[in-house]
Amino acid sequence: MGEYAHINVVKEEGIGVIQLDRPDVSNALNRKMVDEIVGEMEVLDRDETVRVIVVKGHEKFFAAGADIEEMLEDSPLSLELLDPFAVWDRITLIKKPLIAAVNGFALGGGFELALHCDLIIAGEKAKFGFPEVKLGVMPGAGGTQFLTKAMGERKALEWIWLGESMSAAEAERFGVINRVVAPEMLEEETMRLAKQLANQAPISLRLIKEAVHKAEELSLTDGMKLERKNFYLAFDSNDQKEGMQAFMDKRRPSFKGV
């Protein structure tokens, strides 16, 4: 793990934890910070000792939106040349489970970062939203796409057009997040879930993640073909042999990720 300006990273029991750490500006995501987050996700994705990646903020905030001061002088041409959202696309290539743990607010780019994760666990006081319309712009790192896939076109339009925030309870009801817990229990519950996943067969998790994420963009026929291909691939792993033998032996399997 390298030295970072805006994040902290720890590893424990097969779980890599990335903590956003720019508290003086409520973890507003400047470009350097996004580069660090994604770069470390890729490092942990390659790390054979890590099976699950968690992204978390602080007690009162996950992350505000993009760093507005950094964007004040941007122009269409400067943005085209810089292509600041290309780094976000790399998150979709992470093979291991990604969990976002959200306390406080996750707005704009902060909400988009959470939506890029596979699972979102939130404290009861968490708030989610896209206030970009109030600045004369719009989400640009996937917010319109991820939110629409999660809650449907009409509700997504309403939330993004109005620029309002939704509570954790509303986000759970609309299928935007997975679980809501007491704020003081967020870390414990997130790590409990992460440890459950870390004990699963890593190759199975990877193949399942690919099939589920592709389900929305493939036809049913093509999606079924991918599912079956991945099902067959699982049988080339030692973990498949271990899992089925453990079942027959009535013992807990010990998965190695090979």
Q: Of 109, 110, 142, 243, which one is the catalytic site residue? A: 109
One-letter amino acid for residue 73 of the chain: E
Q: Of 63, 100, 126, 132, which one is the catalytic site residue? A: 132
Check residue 2 and give its pLDDT. Answer: 59
Q: In angstroms, rounded to a whole number, what is the distance separating the alpha carbons of residues 107 and 164?
A: 10
pLDDT at 202 over 80: yes
Q: What φ, ψ does residue 213 adopt, rounded to 5°?
A: -65, -30
pLDDT at 70 over 80: no
pLDDT band at 214 (very low <50, low <70, confident <90, very high): very high
pTM for the model stands at 0.92
Does residue 112 have an active-site annotation?
yes
- Cβ neighbors of 154 (< 8 A, separation 6 or more) are none
* Whole-number average pLDDT of the chain: 94
Task: Dump strand ranges (E) for 119-225.
Answer: 119-123, 127-129, 165-167, 179-181
Q: Of 40, 112, 187, 227, which one is the catalytic site residue? A: 112
Dump pLDDT digits (tens) for 123-145: 999 999 999 999 999 999 999 99
Check residue 119 and give its pLDDT. Answer: 98
Check residue 37 and give its pLDDT. Answer: 97
Dump pLDDT digits (tens) for 108-122: 999 999 999 999 999
Beta bridge partners of residue 167, listed in sequence order: 127
Q: In angstroms, rounded to a whole number, what is the distance separating the alpha carbons of residues 39 and 72?
A: 25
Does residue 66 have an active-site annotation?
yes
Does residue 124 have an active-site annotation?
no
Quote the crossing angle between the two packed helices 220-234 and 202-214, to the nearest 10°. Answer: 170
Q: Of 28, 63, 66, 122, which one is the catalytic site residue? A: 66
> Starting from the edge strand earliest in sequence, which strands make up the sheet with 52-56, in order?
7-12, 15-20, 52-56, 98-102, 119-123, 179-181
Dump pLDDT digits (tens) for 163-175: 999 999 999 999 9
Q: In angstroms, rounded to a whole number, what is the distance separating the alpha carbons of residues 18 and 44?
A: 10
